[in-house]
Structure 1
Amino acid sequence: MNAVEGVPMVRLTREQQQVRTRGAVLAAATQEFAEHGYADAKVDRIAARADLTRGAVYSNFPSKRSLYLAVLLQSVPRTAALDAPAAAMDVATAAEAFARVWLERLPLAGDAPAAGKLKSQSLTGVFDDEPGRTALAELTTLEGLLLALALESCQPPDAGRRVRLAELILTLLNGAGHLAQAAPGFGDPFDVARACHHLAGLDVDDVWNPPHLPYVAAPELCCDTWTPPTELTDAISDRPVGFDSDGLIVVLGTGRLGAAEEAVRAARPGDLVTVAVVTSDPAETGALVRLRITDLAACLRRLFGPAISPSMRLVLDDQAALASAIGAGTAEDTEAAIRIRAGKIIARAYGRGAAYAAATTPVAEAQRERDER
């Protein structure tokens, strides 16, 4: 072992060196984006700040966009799953409490513009292409469903859905976020939070009737064995995901995330719905999904504890483990679903409307076919 001035030199493993390099790139990128914003940030300057080559940056992050998303993701607070039940809240109180947590990210009037956008996790100008805009729209729809399920945990089981309410809350909060970037200091976040409280009192027509549903083909009935993947985690509760319960498994590409609502609404009482998100672009679109879902989950875990997703689990299927297990792809328009009963796949559906088809499978008929086999 060589030594310099009496200090032993420790040889790092390749993995350790990669972790160190990645950390240096992220630290330098955080400074660059905070000073110049996303649009004006330069990869060459990031490399120089980290005392690395441009190639070293790109060997860890394939694009400036993927690097920006990684910087945002590392700033999301790591909130562990809560074992103790959260304090009892009604829907209106929960809506206001969620808004207060969400609004903590807003920049202050004295923040520099670029630093303020970084703090607020701004994606303005980051996803201007059509696939990115589609993914953002579908992601926001999924976020509305997840928030709705959390709000519904604060009311009696037969009190109805809160999906449209959740979408209104997210519309108001995202509007406040954009205004805080464009005109920092305008408005009072506490007023916005109180407005979310009052939104819960509106008579919102929670209609659900997608026009394609009457044309959805019936699922293929079957009796197939399968080997579910292990070591998957529910992105909302941060708990391990097992597959020993009856229910639905739905695999969705980032262009079809809205179909999660179809599965949840059409599921039978007692069904456990597992939604897996896949993408053919893990470096950018996959990172976007992880950023938005991780951030939302952190907010929900702070407020709702273990009741945040009682009837739905969400898997960020980065390695397509669950998708492969049920024979689904990873394209952005992927929609595939199966129904599990007694450890066997009793129905399969693929294509638009697959989540609804699997959810509405005639279980008695599928059971007869299973018994015949």
Structure 2
Amino acid sequence: MVRLTRAQQQARTRAAVLAAAVEEFTEHGFAAAKVDRIAARAELTRGAVYSNFPSKRSLYLAVLLDSVQHETASSVPGERLDLPDGAEAFARAWLERLPLAGDTPDAGKVRSRSLTGVFEDEPGRAAMAGLARLDGLLLALALESCRTPRAGRRVRLAELILTLLHGAGHLAETAPGFGDPFDVARACRRLADHAADDAWDPPHLPYIAAPRLCRDAWTPPADLTDALTGQTMGFDDGVIVVLGTDRLGAAEEAVRAARPGEAVTIALVTDDPAEIGALVRLRITDLAGCLRGAFGPDAGLPLPIVLDDRAELAAAVGAGTAADTETAVRVQDGTIIARAAGRGAAHAAATAPSLAERHTGTEEA
């Protein structure tokens, strides 16, 4: 008889729980699912379930994340797309999740990775709002890589596309059979044909405190990866922003304020890794799959996203992990040359003077 190691036994138990949970959530939905039934399906104790997943919500999120990670990306274009083509390609990749005609309502929700009724508390709703804004920024950057006769930001366009797609997803849950996914994809294309002005004028920007200029040692953690590409991060010169889930909208401030071609890295932190952290990982992994399906595996976005589960990058920057965390640094020549914390920190660090600019300013003074 082969004796399993502790790690192998834990992996087997976790896999059994996930398999049982898929059946339970597919048959009963999130709200009516019972942990006791999941344990019985897996032929385990209730305690064994909770030793792997601290709550029913964390287990549901794990089921959805597992389904995303096992998806195979559809065929992708081999060349740079025009903007309308890119908008339609993303919509088609996103709409592949919609329930099939024979799905039951609860099975359809699992297939579509629905979070309806899962996060109704204020921390969860705030995190969902922040993630929606981050999704819009990441899609915008992908759309900005497309060929277009008019250069410019596409954040508002991306938010409109996502609004249309999420509305289609909600209708697929509540009114199955209404609408045609191909029509929705074509509508996203038409939005790109008539892209609205990308208005952006946050009222608080003039009141942001200046960053603290410094020359601090910089020792970034090793082996962290970009959640969008899977590539190991290098943390070279540029701006690094650590954000809690209530402050994810500040990522746009950093991107817009950064110098052309300058690296901006966003690290996402949470003090609730089991649920909010799992939600963040699910949404980012899901979006990354859609972007790869639409724009190709090597499309790459100029905004690395680090899911800083162990707060390693946060510790290196000197940031916390609370939901309202916003801390940013500017790195140059292997040294932290500016620090900022609090609302507006991302913008402050991105606009901090370089060493050369600081030296020139001193001489002129």
Q: 1:188 aligns with which of 156, 180, 184?
A: 180
Alignment match, 2:268: 277
Quick one: which amino acid aligns to residue 51 of structure 2? S
- Give the distance between the partners of 1:225 and 1:86, measured in 2 at CA: 43
Kindly tell me: are residues 103 and 247 of structure 1, through their superposed partners in 2, closer, same or farther at Cα, counting changes over 3 Å?
Answer: same
Shift of 1:302: 2.2
Shift of 1:205: 2.1
Matched, 1:216 2:208: yes
- Give the distance between the partners of 2:35 and 2:60, measured in 1 at CA: 11
Quick one: which amino acid aligns to residue 328 of structure 2? A
Alignment match, 1:356: 347
- Give the distance between the partners of 1:199 and 1:85, measured in 2 at CA: 21
Alignment match, 2:15: 23
Q: 2:136 aligns with which of 139, 144, 155?
A: 144
Alignment match, 2:147: 155
Residues 239 and 350 in structure 2, CA contact (< 8 A), matched pair in contact too: yes
Q: 2:233 aligns with which of 241, 264, 275?
A: 241
Kindly tell me: are residues 342 and 216 of structure 1, through their superposed partners in 2, closer, same or farther at Cα, counting changes over 3 Å?
Answer: same
Quick one: which amino acid aligns to residue 4 of structure 2? L
Alignment match, 1:5: none
Matched, 1:129 2:115: no
Q: 2:107 aligns with which of 111, 115, 121?
A: 115
Alignment match, 1:321: 312
Q: 1:268 aligns with which of 259, 263, 277?
A: 259
- Give the distance between the partners of 1:273 and 1:127, measured in 2 at CA: 30
- Give the distance between the partners of 1:309 and 1:162, measured in 2 at CA: 17
Q: Aligned to 2:68, what secondary structure does the other structure show?
A: coil
- Give the distance between the partners of 2:195 and 2:83, measured in 1 at CA: 13
Shift of 1:109: 2.7
Q: Aligned to 1:96, what secondary structure does the other structure show?
A: helix
Sequence identity of aligned pairs in percent? 72
Shift of 1:370: 11
Quick one: which amino acid aligns to residue 162 of structure 1? R
Q: 1:174 aligns with which of 162, 166, 174?
A: 166
Quick one: which amino acid aligns to residue 108 of structure 2? G
Aligned pair count? 361
Q: Aligned to 2:240, what secondary structure does the other structure show?
A: strand
Alignment match, 2:325: 334
Quick one: which amino acid aligns to residue 275 of structure 2? E
Matched, 1:52 2:44: yes
Quick one: which amino acid aligns to residue 44 of structure 1? D
Shift of 1:309: 4.1
Kindly tell me: are residues 79 and 54 of structure 1, through their superposed partners in 2, closer, same or farther at Cα, counting changes over 3 Å?
Answer: closer
Q: Aligned to 1:38, what secondary structure does the other structure show?
A: helix
Task: Give the structure-1-normalised TM-score.
Answer: 0.93
Kindly tell me: are residues 370 and 134 of structure 1, through their superposed partners in 2, closer, same or farther at Cα, counting changes over 3 Å?
Answer: farther
Kindly tell me: are residues 157 and 327 of structure 1, through their superposed partners in 2, closer, same or farther at Cα, counting changes over 3 Å?
Answer: farther
Quick one: which amino acid aligns to residue 355 of structure 1? A
Q: Aligned to 1:240, what secondary structure does the other structure show?
A: coil
Task: Give the structure-2-normalised TM-score.
Answer: 0.95
- Give the distance between the partners of 1:173 and 1:111, measured in 2 at CA: 20
| Greater mean alpha carbon deviation, residues 149-158 or residues 225-234 | 149-158
What CA deviation, in whole Å up to 9, does each residue of 1:101-128 have, x standing for no partner? 1001000232101000000000000000
Alignment match, 2:88: 96
Alignment match, 1:290: 281
- Give the distance between the partners of 2:362 and 2:267, measured in 1 at CA: 26
Residues 222 and 369 in structure 1, CA contact (< 8 A), matched pair in contact too: no
- Give the distance between the partners of 1:59 and 1:367, measured in 2 at CA: 56
What CA deviation, in whole Å up to 9, does each residue of 1:314-364 have, x standing for no partner? 101111110000100000000000011111110000000000000111224
Alignment match, 2:338: 347
Kindly tell me: are residues 370 and 343 of structure 1, through their superposed partners in 2, closer, same or farther at Cα, counting changes over 3 Å?
Answer: farther
What CA deviation, in whole Å up to 9, does each residue of 1:165-203 have, x standing for no partner? 000000000000000000111110000000000001224
Kindly tell me: are residues 344 and 79 of structure 1, through their superposed partners in 2, closer, same or farther at Cα, counting changes over 3 Å?
Answer: farther
Structure 2: give runs of 5+ residues left out of the alignment: none
Residues 153 and 307 in structure 1, CA contact (< 8 A), matched pair in contact too: no
Alignment match, 2:296: 305
Structure 1: give runs of 5+ residues left out of the alignment: 1-8
Shift of 1:303: 2.4
Quick one: which amino acid aligns to residue 43 of structure 2? D
